[in-house]
């Protein structure tokens, strides 16, 4: 079979430009510090500089993962042509797990298309068994950083703020508080805050984290919301969280002072439902916080529920109160107090506005 004249010329043109296949490259590596504290961000940068545009090369280099002595995260990577020469750069942020000398020793794979592969593609050979690439493993320069102890896992520079309501509520009306920690550091080391206050039900939302990785660590905010429900006055205890300040290079604390909350007489649970909740009942934290947001409205007298005295058993009283409920919110409170587990799906659908018909949900409850 005669070869296409155009293909032959194209093949000769490629082979005559020997420089295309003779690209040279050089790797360099940098760390932004030689000494760092435990859990402090360490910025690493690797650059591959070519002698030309180097279209035939591809690079496999992504060492970001969990290691025994450190965590390595991807920051960014880029490829550009500068003065006709290709430059690839790769940047990472490392966080040491141990106080010792850390060695960052990685390997890149340089893949280059072969002349045979180009010839097979251009000329159109189908029966030649050739590898498409040649591979070369390049060991990167070993970067060493000495890691110093901090005596606390939380490292960085932070500011704390507590958003609080007026410290006065009615009985069984939730008192809300939100703790916000902003700054730069390893937010992932922050643990949920826990309160144990006698006579007070404490409902804690899962901590929300919003941060972005940069050369000096994670920049952002950590937030956690709480609701406290009680019949009598109570005190929210002081919060203290220890951290190592990189700016001051010493241990510091954020402190939120204790707060006394006054509780005024208000609705009693019996006014909503005569049957007391079982003592062994455990609340599911995955959905009860949003219930409390609604309960706050009722127990703050936004919804009036009249007192009634019935000579009926508890189930009959519950059925009648369901039938007389004047809104979905009022009905939701009755369901939560009656059996939060049993009516969990209905309550969640009401909160998500999947249920909008009061009469329809009443029928569903009465037939359960």
- The Cα 217–Cα 39 span in angstroms is 9
List 48's β-bridge partners, or say none. Answer: 27, 88
Q: Tell me the C-alpha distance between 144 and 36, whole Å.
A: 11
Closest C-alpha to 137, from 117, 112, 113? 112
Helix intervals (H) in the chain: 5-16, 115-123, 269-272, 285-297, 314-324, 328-339, 344-351, 358-366
Give per-residue pLDDT as tens, 91-122: 999 999 999 999 999 999 999 986 665 555 55
Report the alpha-carbon distance of residue 26 to residue 51 in Å, rounded: 9
CA dihedral over 356, 360, 363, 367, signed as positive or negative: negative
Q: What is the pTM of this model?
A: 0.64
Q: In DSSP terms, which residues pair with 245 in a beta bridge?
A: 156, 250
Is the separation of the CB atoms in 224 and 181 below 8 Å? no
Torsion sign over Cα 316, 322, 326, 331: positive
> Can you give the pLDDT at residue 177?
94
Question: Kind of pairing, strands 70-82 and 259-264?
Answer: unpaired
Q: For the domain bounded by 5-148, which CATH number is listed?
A: 2.60.40.10
β-pair type (155-164, 239-245): parallel
The total of other beta-carbon atoms located within 10 Å of residue 178's CB is 15
359 phi/psi in degrees, rounded to 5: -65, -40
Q: Binning pLDDT at 50, 70 and 90, where does residue 300 land?
A: very low
Which sequence spans correspond to the domains of the chain?
Answer: 5-148, 152-264, 267-368
Q: What is the pLDDT of residues 338-364, one digit of tens each?
A: 777 788 788 778 877 788 888 888 878
Q: In whole angstroms, give the CA distance from residue 88 to residue 45.
A: 11
Q: Which of 353, 351, 327, 326 is nearest to 340 (CA)?
A: 351
Average pLDDT for 73-97: 96
Same fold, 5-148 and 152-264: yes
DSSP conformation class of 66: B
Residue 295: pLDDT band with limits 50, 70, 90: low
Residue 88 CB partners (closer than 8 Å, separation 6+): 47, 48, 59, 77, 78, 79
Using alpha carbons, select from 242, 49, 97, 76 the residue that is nearest to residue 156: 242
Split at pLDDT 50, 70, 90, the class of 130 is low
Q: Which residues of 121-145 are buried (b: 16+ CB within 10 A; e: fewer)?
A: ebeeeeeeeeeeeeeeeeebeebeb
The architecture of the domain spanning 152-264 is: Sandwich (2.60)
């Amino acid at each position: 079979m005669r070869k296409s004249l155009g293909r032959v010329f194209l093949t000769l043109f490629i082979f005559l430009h020997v420089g295309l296949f003779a690209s040279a490259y050089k790797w360099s590596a940098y760390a932004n510090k030689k000494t760092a504290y435990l859990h402090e961000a360490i910025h690493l940068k690797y650059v591959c500089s070519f002698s030309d545009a180097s279209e035939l090369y591809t690079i496999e280099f992504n060492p970001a993962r969990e290691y025994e002595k450190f965590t390595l995260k991807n920051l960014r990577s880029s490829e550009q042509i500068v003065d006709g020469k290709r430059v690839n750069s790769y940047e990472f942020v490392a966080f040491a797990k141990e106080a010792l000398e850390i060695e960052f020793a990685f390997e890149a794979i340089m893949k280059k298309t072969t002349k045979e592969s180009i010839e097979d593609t251009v000329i159109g050979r189908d029966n030649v068994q050739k590898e498409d690439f040649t591979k070369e493993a390049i060991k990167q320069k070993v970067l060493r950083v000495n890691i110093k102890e901090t005596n606390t896992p939380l490292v960085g520079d932070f500011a704390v703020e507590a958003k609080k309501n007026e410290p006065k509520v009615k009985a069984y009306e939730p008192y809300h508080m939100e703790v916000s920690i902003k700054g730069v550091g390893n937010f992932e080391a922050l643990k949920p805050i826990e309160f144990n206050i006698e006579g007070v039900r404490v409902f804690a939302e899962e901590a929300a984290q919003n941060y972005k990785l940069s050369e000096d660590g994670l920049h952002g905010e950590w937030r956690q919301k709480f609701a406290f429900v009680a019949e009598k006055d109570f005190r929210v205890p002081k919060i203290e969280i220890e951290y190592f300040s990189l700016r001051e290079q010493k241990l510091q604390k954020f402190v939120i002072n204790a707060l006394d909350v006054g509780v005024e007489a208000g609705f009693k649970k019996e006014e909503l439902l005569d049957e007391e909740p079982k003592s062994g009942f455990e609340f599911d934290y995955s959905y009860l916080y949003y219930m409390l947001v609604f309960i706050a409205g009722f127990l703050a007298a936004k919804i009036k529920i009249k007192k009634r005295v019935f000579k009926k058993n508890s189930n009959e009283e519950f059925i009648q109160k369901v039938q007389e409920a004047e809104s979905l919110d009022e009905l939701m409170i009755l369901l939560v107090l009656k059996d939060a587990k049993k009516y969990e799906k209905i309550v969640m659908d009401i909160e998500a506005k999947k249920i909008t018909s009061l009469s329809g949900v009443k029928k569903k409850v009465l037939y359960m």
